[in-house]
Amino acid sequence: MSTPHYDCIIVGTGPAGASAAYYLAKGGYSILMLDKETLPRYKPCGGGVSPIVQQWFDFDFSPAISLKISVNRYTWKKQDPFEVSLNTQEPIWMVRRDVFDRFLVQQGQQQGAQLKDSTLVTGIEQQSEQILVKTSRGNYKGRYLIAADGGKGPLATWLGFKDRKRMLAGALEAEFPIVSESNGTTDSF
């Protein structure tokens, strides 16, 4: 049985990996995206996206935007609220990462990139002019490898990069009602 071969294998399907897949596939390269999780997958981080990213892509992000905000409200211990109006041409996009990331992956797939989710990368091996990527679902060969597996992913270490200093941080995600000013309806984000 022969090992499937690609121009580039991308490990990780977050915004970086999915964007790379989109552009490389659009350029005519054979691309394989690998992700250890089953997509779409819940991700409790980063819901704010600057609309300036639209200038780098030739497709409309509207299907992946949950809400556009132009006012930020800050408080200290739920006291002393302070609102700031954003003086930008386009409000900040609020996205749900499961929706946003999947949307980007789908853009790459429409250009011909292949996706294998639920596929854990277990090792990599340099073989002359190609890289062998070992996974829980078989092996794949690629001319190039993009390590987009995140800050806690193992690829940087496997590729010989220095250990990154990590700092602990906490995050809280909560759903709250939002009343639309235009029609008075309530939604949640």
Question: How many domains are there within the chain?
Answer: 1
Domain that holds residue 56: 5-67+95-188
User: How does the average pLDDT of the chain come out, rounded?
Assistant: 86
Whether 19 maps to a domain, the answer reads yes
Closest by CA to 72, choosing from 97, 90, 53, 91, is: 91
DSSP 37-96: SPSS----S--EE-GGGGGG-SS--GGG--EEESEEEEEETTEEEEEEE---SSPEEE--
* Residue 45 forms part of a structural domain: yes
* Cis peptide leading into residue 40 (ω within 30°): yes
172 assigned to some structural domain = yes
Give me the pLDDT at residue 189, please: 47
Sign of CA dihedral 20, 21, 24, 29: positive
Question: What distance in Å separates the CA atoms of residue 16 and residue 149, rounded to the nearest whole number?
Answer: 9
Residue-wise pLDDT tens digits, 128-174? 899 999 999 999 999 999 999 887 788 888 888 777 676 666 655 56
- Give the DSSP letter of residue 149: S
CA distance 149 to 96: 19
Do you know the residue count of the chain?
A: 189
Q: How far apart are CA 127 and CA 74, in angstroms?
A: 53
Note the pLDDT tens digit of each residue in 14-24. 999 999 999 99
Do the domain assignments include residue 33?
yes
**Does 169 reside within a domain?**
yes
Could you give the 3-state DSSP secondary structure of residue 123? Answer: strand
Residue-level pLDDT at 179:
57
Both tokens of residue 164? 């990154």
Q: What is the structure's pLDDT at 74?
A: 79
- Does residue 149 sit within a domain? yes
Question: For the domain that residue 133 is a member of, what is the CATH number?
Answer: 3.50.50.60
Question: Are the C-beta atoms of residues 157 and 123 closer than 8 Å to each other?
Answer: no
Residue written as token pair 């790459």: 108
| 41-80: pLDDT as tens digits | 888 776 889 899 999 999 999 999 988 888 877 788 878 8
Residue 77 domain-assigned?
no
pLDDT of residue 110: 98
Is 182 contained in some domain? yes
